[in-house]
Amino acid sequence: MTTSPAGPADQLTAPARTFTQRFSSTPRGARLARHLTAHQLDAWGIPYGTVDSDTAALLVAELAANAVTHGRVPGRDFELALLLGGGLLRIAVSDARGERRPPWPGARPAPGPLADTGRGLLLVDALAARWEVRDRVPVGKTVVAELDLPH
pLDDT tens string, the chain, 151 residues long: the values are 433 344 444 454 557 899 999 999 999 999 999 999 999 999 999 999 999 999 999 999 999 999 999 877 777 899 999 999 999 999 999 998 877 677 666 666 676 676 666 567 888 999 999 999 999 988 899 999 999 998 5
Q: Is residue 60 one of the residues assigned to a domain?
A: yes
Q: Is residue 1 one of the residues assigned to a domain?
A: no
Q: Is residue 28 one of the residues assigned to a domain?
A: yes
DSSP label of 44:
T
Q: Is residue 68 one of the residues assigned to a domain?
A: yes
Q: Is residue 102 one of the residues assigned to a domain?
A: yes
Q: In whole angstroms, give the CA distance from residue 39 to residue 151.
A: 19
Q: Is residue 105 one of the residues assigned to a domain?
A: yes
The reported pLDDT for the residue numbered 119 is: 67
* Count of domains for the chain: 1
Q: Sign of torsion, CA 61 80 48 15? A: negative
The reported pLDDT for the residue numbered 7 is: 44
The reported pLDDT for the residue numbered 15 is: 72
The reported pLDDT for the residue numbered 74 is: 78
Q: What's the pTM value of the predicted model, to 2 decimals?
A: 0.83
Type of residue numbered 151: H
The reported pLDDT for the residue numbered 137 is: 84
Q: In whole angstroms, give the CA distance from residue 145 to residue 26.
A: 21
Q: Is residue 25 one of the residues assigned to a domain?
A: yes
Where in the sequence is the domain holding 96, given as residue range(s)?
17-110+121-148
Type of residue numbered 15: P
